[in-house]
Every structure is written in structure tokens, then in C-alpha cells.
Structure 1
Amino acid sequence: MFLQLLVTGLVVGSIYALVALGFVLIYKASDCINFAQGEFLLVGAYVALWVVTSYNVPFLPAVMLTLCLALALGVLVERMVLRPFIGEPVISVIMATIGLSSLMRGVTQLIWGTDTMIYPPVFPQEPVNLAGVVISQVYLWSLGLAILLLAVFSLFFKFTTTGIVMRAVADDQQAALSMGISVKKVFAITWAIAAMVAAVGGILLGNINGVNSSLAHLGLKVLPVAILGGLDSIPGAILGGFIIGVLENLVGGYLDPVFGGGVKEVVPFVILVLILLVRPYGLFGKEVIERV
């Protein structure tokens, strides 16, 4: 049972890390928490499923098309939601993302309804036996793909020109402007990447559990992941995702039967409260002291 829960926790944690990456990128670039991140995930899951089932497009091309649409959606949201609020208080941008969250969820429910929709089989159906524990291949494929994407993004931010420019803007916008860097362009790229990683998370989760409108709630569950690792730390988001994913599944597996269920759902938020009390800037976040 422990190994089964551990593998499931690692899979869920890797997807949490992907979605949390979007939180961190947007926060680093604009000091804003995007409360519509879960809806980006939901839209990605629905669009990929719609393309596969309605047009009989193979899974991989459908994913690529979904990522292109997610990129366009991210840029559109940045232009329509973030850019008009440049120079406004951060709370104004946060409230705008909350409104965007409700709008996007309502539109997805209007188009696809609220019933759970199932992806056609994509990964091999034969389960794998690991140390006597039978594990579905969809879990292993999802874990491998999520880890691969996290590694690719880590290398992207460290070694590519665009990644270095994004880090420069995140560290000091004024200095970046003085060096001739287009901060607005970086904002657009940031939102595009945030939408794309959320869409990938939605597609992977959709293959595991199916897709319905409640999938958007994952955005709120991932917020503790970003805060645990540090809202300005990409490695922290990755590690935080695995920590909360594993703890959530272990606690749920062992304590849910004792308490009649529900314990698993509150674990991320208990961790959120504890980390805010003990280390409010997260495990890897920078402690910022502002002089007033």
C-alpha cells in the first residue's frame, strides 16, 4: 500500500509542480498571484479531449495544438487583464484574475457541461508490477512526462537567452528596462508559458481521472505548493509539488479510512498555514525586508 500511495503521490506532485511553475513565473514577473491558473488547466484538458474525440486527431498532434491555443490564450489574457493594470495596486490585478477565473469556468461549463468526460486510451493499458504492487502505466507515463517537462523548463530558464531575460526582469524590472529589455514582451511570454504548463497538467490529470469543471479547483490546491517552495523560486515550486503530492496521498491513504474521508483534501491547506507561520517566504523564497 505504501508504494502504491508513494507512486500516486509522485505523479500528482509532478503535476502540482507543473501548475505551480505558472504561479511562480507570474509572481516573479509581476508580483501578482494568478487565481485563474486552475482554469488554464481546465481549458487545456477540455480542448485536448475535444480535439481528440470530435476530430479524431491523434493524441500527440492534439496536445501540440492545445499548447498553441494555450500560448495564444496566455498572451490574450496578459494583454486584456494584466497590461491595463500596469501601475495599479497589485490587489487590482489579483481581483481581475479572480474575475477571469469565474468567467473561464463559466464558459467551459457552457460549452462542455459539468459531466465527467473520459479520454480515450492513450497510454498502454497493461499494468506494471513494481515490487509486488500493480501500477497503471498511465501513472508512470504521466510522472515521466511531467519530470521531463520540469527538467526542460529548468534548462530553459538557466541557459536560453529568453529564460535569462525573464529572470532579469523578475529580479529587477527597472534595471531590465535600462538595459533595453522589453518588460511588456517578457510579461506576455510569462503568461503564455504559465498557460501552457497548466494545460499540460490538465491533459495529464484528464488522462488519469477524466475531465470535469471541478478540475479547476486544482489551482487553489496548488497555491500552497507555490507558497511552500517560495513564490519566487522555481526549484521551490518543483520540490513543493512533490512534497505536498506525496504527503497528501500518504495522509489520505492512512487517515481517510480512520476519519471517514476528507483528510486528504485539507492537507495542502494545513501545510499552507504551517509554512506561513514558520517560514512565510517559503523553503527557497527570498526574505524581503522593505523600509517604509
Structure 2
Amino acid sequence: MGFFLETLFGGLMAGMLYSLIALGFVLIFKASGVFNFAQGAMVLFAALAMARFSEWAPKLMGFDHKILANLIGFVLAMVAMIAVAWVIERLVLGKLVNQEGITLLMATLGITYFLDGFGQTVFGSDIYKIDVGLPKDPIFLFEQTFQGGILISQEDLYAALIAAALVAALSLFFQKTATGRALRAVADDHQAAQSIGIPLNRIWVIVWSVAGFVALVAGIIWGSKLGVQFSLSLVALKALPVVILGGLTSVPGAIIGGLIIGVGEKLSEVYIGPMVGGGIEIWFAYVLALIFLLVRPQGLFGEKIIDRV
């Protein structure tokens, strides 16, 4: 029982991190109606900015103070992500208002390759380190209840709590604020939103900035765990099955979908993997997403689209 709970907790913590990245996809889709393939590149670019600005900060300050350097790095990285959001709106999205979805989709692919190349040009292509003080040593819980206790990674636990707090805050933002309601209106119909006075350009800058903030937090967490390297953008691919499972328009769906996939891949790898030679954790999420595409394409919480003719 203790080993099962240990695997379950590990899956839940991994699932919250998947949910955090998936949230970036949902944010962009709710505002523009297009699937943002650039989210992985945004995570990588934000992590690179955080790592490099934190590294350069002591040289600018004239003394080495890790907390202050991380704070400066975070602020400058957030400024960089807002600048990216503004440039994307001015040079890309603002020119493609009311265009077909495939046009916007191809635009996000172009943004992906631009951010990958631009990030390498500005920040370099080495493997960089992000150290924000997350504890690395594991801890044992419930030692009195289960023999040997349950081994929990403190780093994963703190990362999951940070991700959960951010996801909850953004859920409230969408449901309780006027800007959140405006974002939903823009996603439903660009022209109708404009006709009632919703400033489309400002809304897109806001939502891409929020998505940039989410990418920055996700980049810091994953960069702290894995190091900042260009394979980090591939981590975002794990969020694709999450949004398919939970629904492209649902913030709660991103949470539930991430938890289901996180737990499912861990349990299947541990209990089924040995019988089939392992490797289930690599493809489990994608097979589950494929099943949902065949059975319920809108996901668990997605809105079912009905076209009337």
C-alpha cells in the first residue's frame, strides 16, 4: 500500500506540472481560438531568459547575492515575455484578425521557430542552471503508518504546490474578473467582441503576457529539475494530451487532465511496464489522448461545438 501511495503522489505532482504547461495552451486558445504550438518554445525562451539574467545580475550589481540575483532575473525575464507578447500582437496576430484558424495555427508554428532561434542567438545554446532554492533532498512521510514510510521528492512537492496555486489564481481570474470575461468573449467571436467595444489588440497582449508568465513559472520549475537546455521545449509536448483530455477551452479540464495523465503514466509504468518491457510512460498519454479523440473529441470539460446550417 505504501509503494502504491508513493507512486500515486509522484503521479499527482507530475500531473500538476503538466497542468501548468497545458494552462498556457488553454489561455491562448480561449483568447484567439487557435492551438498555440509556440507554448513549448515560450517555456524554453522564458527559462533561458531567467537563467541568463540571473547569471548576469551579480556582474551588474557588483556583488553576488543569490536571492536578489534570482529576483532581478525573474523580473527581467517577465519583462522579456511581455515584450514578446507585444511583438507577437503587433507583428502577427494584429495582422491576422478574423483569418481562418489554420492561418493562425501556421503563425504560431512560425513563432515557435523564431523563439527557438532568437533564444539561442541572444542567450546561447549551452545547458544552464536555475537555482531558486527548491530543496532537492527527498523526505519520508507516514513512517508510523507504512513500513519504511513514503518517499516524497521535496522539489516535486514544492513545484506542485506552486503550480496548483498559480492554476487556482488563473481560474479565478477567468471566472471573476471583467478581463477574464472579455477573454472568453473574444474567443467566441472576434468581430462581435469588437462591436461591443472590447479592445481586441489589448486583450491579445494581456493573454499572451499571462501565457508568458505561466511559461516563465513552468520554465523555472522544469529548468530547476532538468537544467535549461533546448530539449526543454519537448516537455511541453506532454501537455498536448492533457489539453485534448481535459478540453481546449477548460481551465479546470487542464487541471483534471494533467492529474489523470500524471497518475496514469506513473501507475502504468510501475505495474504494467515490467510485464511488457517498460516504456509505457513515454506513450501512455498519447494513446489516451487518441482514444479521447475517437470517443469524445471535445475532451472531458470542453465545449461541444454545434454548427447550424
* Same fold per superposition (TM over 0.5): yes
Distance 1:23 1:35 in 2: 8
- Return 194-203 or 277-286, whichever deviates more: 194-203
- AA aligned opposite 2:74: V
Q: Does 1:105 align with 2:79?
A: no
Tell me the CA shift for residue 28 of structure 1: 1.9
**Aligned partner of 1:38: which letter?**
G
Paired residues of 2:89 and 2:201 also in contact (CA < 8 A): no
| Distance apart, 1:140 and its partner CA | 1.3
Instruction: Report whether the alignment pairs 1:138 with 2:155.
Output: yes
- Mapping 1:35-54, distance limit 5 Å: 35-54=37-56
Structure 1 position 65 matched with structure 2 position 82: no
Report Cα offsets for 1:245-278 as digits up to 9, x if no partner.
2212222333444444432111121111011011
Contact 1:29–1:190 under 8 Å retained in 2:
yes
The superposition leaves residues 225-259 of structure 1 with CA deviations (integer Å, 9 ceiling, x where unpaired) of 11211111111112111111221222233344444
Match of 1:212 in 2: 229
Structure 1 residue runs of 4+, over 6 Å off?
Answer: none
Matches of 1:255 and 1:112, distance apart in 2: 42
- Give unmatched runs, 5+ long, in structure 1: none
Q: How far apart, CA to CA, are the structure 2 residues paired with 1:214 and 1:260?
A: 25
Higher mean C-alpha deviation, range 111-120 or range 131-140: 111-120
RMSD of aligned Cα (Å): 2.1
**Aligned pair 1:129/2:140, yes or no?**
yes
Contact 1:169-1:176 at 8 Å conserved across structures = yes
Among 1, 4, 7, the alignment partner of 1:2 is 4
For residue 198 of structure 2, the aligned residue among 181, 187, 202 is: 181
Match of 2:131?
A: 120
Identify the range of structure 1 (276-285 vs 203-212) with the bigger mean alpha-carbon deviation.
203-212
Cα distance in 2 for partners of 1:31, 1:267 equals: 27
Q: TM-score, normalised by structure 1?
A: 0.91
2:28 pairs, out of 26, 44, 62, with 26
Separation in structure 2 between the aligned mates of residue 45 and residue 190 of structure 1, nearest angstrom? 19
Larger Rg: 2
Cα pair 2:50 2:73 within 8 Å, conserved: yes
Instruction: Report the alpha carbon displacement of residue 285 of structure 1 after superposing the two structures with TM.
Output: 0.9
Unaligned residue ranges in structure 2 (runs of 5+): 59-67, 143-148
- Deviation larger for 131-140 or 150-159: 131-140
Offset at 1:27?
1.4
Cα gap change, 1:153 to 1:286, in 2 (>3 Å) = same
Tell me the number of residue pairs that the alignment of Structure 1 and Structure 2 aligns: 292
Distance 1:74 1:255 in 2: 43
Matched, 1:91 2:102: yes
> What's the % identity of the aligned pairs?
43
So what's the TM-score if we normalise by structure 2?
Answer: 0.86
Corresponding residue of 1:165:
182
Question: Does the 8 Å CA contact 1:35/1:219 hold for their aligned counterparts?
Answer: no
Q: Which amino acid aligns with 1:20?
A: A
DSSP 3-state at the match of 2:182: helix
Counterpart residue number, 2:209 = 192
**Matches of 1:119 and 1:183, distance apart in 2:** 36
Whichever residue aligns with residue 255 of structure 2, its letter is I
Q: Is the 8 A contact 1:108 1:213 kept in 2?
A: no
Deviations 1:166-197 (A, max 9, x none): 22323343443232111221122111111211
Secondary structure (helix, strand or coil) at the match of 1:134 reads: strand
Alpha-carbon distance between aligned partners in 1 of 2:245 and 2:296, rounded to the nearest angstrom: 9
Alignment equivalent of 2:87, drawn from 52, 76, 87: 76
1:224 aligns with 2:241: yes
